[in-house]
Amino acid sequence: MKLFPLVFAFMPLAFGSLLIDYHGGDEVSSLGSCQLEAQNLGDHIGCPGNNNVFIKPSRDPTGCKALHFHRDQNFRRAQVRASLGPGDGFFGPNKKYSVGYEFMLSNAVGGPGGGLTLFQWKRKDKKVAPVDNIPFYLTFTSKTELSLLYTVPGNPLRQTLATIPLSMHKAHKIALEFDTTIAPDAVVSGNNALRFWLDGRLVLNKSGLSLWSSKTPTYPKFGIYRGECDDHCAGDEVAEHTFDSWVYRVQIAEGDIAEVGEVVGDVEAA
């Protein structure tokens, strides 16, 4: 496996490309806006939440500083929508973005269309045609397998582009690099590239995707979403659907994956 060094990991990032640089223990607002939800879509809960669902600066079980996400079994959402600045933030067309995301999970559940979800590249208005609420996202398709799913605009069926094992109670580093290039006057893009690494290993290198709409903003969301159980959840199901995630670092930059090298380290060459 060939690795290429990320020289920016050892140099001050003074080029203006780093958009978000979150460190565990910082306030949620350093990453974006907190979003908590009960069992039903739209049942919003004020942040930082309560004992059943919350997002707050804390420490992981080993004492390391982290942003702690927690959800009891019947709760739907504990996410942060990454956005710094007024309105819908700074994500735009004809850019290349890179994301570095270091975290640890307590447990996960999966399903055919996805279970517990860790990351979303999500449209603000899910009804804009051609419909594509979530261009891509990282979700569990089994208790120990993380998959990257992709949505073709106008097609409700999600495509699984990659699947890789992911262990619990261990820190992992996700790296993503993608572009939002779109033709003039186009409604949606048609030839974007997406790369996905887990702990330095290249998992996906795919082009010909549609990741941007000219009609509505799109932005990243981090945390723990879905995988909840219904009101009849009992016994072992309660523990299986109670989730904790500890986020240690998040960097988002305009540019290639080297710009978030401080988080992701050396990664396999594409």
Q: Give the pair of three-digit tokens for residue 64.
A: 């390391």
- How far is the C-alpha of 172 from the C-alpha of 193, rounded, in Å? 23
Q: Give the pair of three-digit tokens for residue 194.
A: 């997406």
Mean pLDDT of the chain: 91
Q: Half-sphere exposure (CA, 13 Å, Cβ side) for 151?
A: 24
Average pLDDT rounded to a whole number, residues 244-262? 97
Average pLDDT rounded to a whole number, residues 12-38? 85
Q: How confident is the model at residue 88 (pLDDT cuts 50, 70, 90)?
A: low
Q: Give the pair of three-digit tokens for residue 121.
A: 């590249």
56, 67 Cβ separation under 8 angstroms: yes
Closest CA to 98 of 19, 166, 173, 2: 19
Pairing of strands 117-123, 96-105: unpaired
Q: How confident is the model at residue 6 (pLDDT cuts 50, 70, 90)?
A: very low
φ/ψ (deg, to 5) at 61:
-60, -20
CA angle 220, 250, 71 (to 5 degrees): 70
Neighbours of 214 (CB within 10 A): 14
Structure confidence by residue, pLDDT tens digits, 112-136: 777 999 999 999 998 999 999 999 9
Neighbours of 215 (CB within 10 A): 12
What is the pLDDT, as a whole number, of residue 7? 41
Closest CA to 241 of 39, 10, 13: 39
Record the pTM.
0.92
Closest CA to 4 of 197, 185, 237: 197
Looking at per-residue confidence, does 193 or 13 come out higher?
A: 193
Structure confidence by residue, pLDDT tens digits, 211-223: 999 999 999 999 9
- The beta strand positions in the chain, using DSSP E, are 3-4, 18-23, 32-37, 44-45, 53-59, 65-71, 77-82, 96-105, 117-123, 136-142, 145-151, 158-165, 172-179, 192-198, 201-209, 218-225, 243-254, 267-268
Give the type of residue at 150.
Y
- How far is the C-alpha of 213 from the C-alpha of 98, rounded, in Å? 18
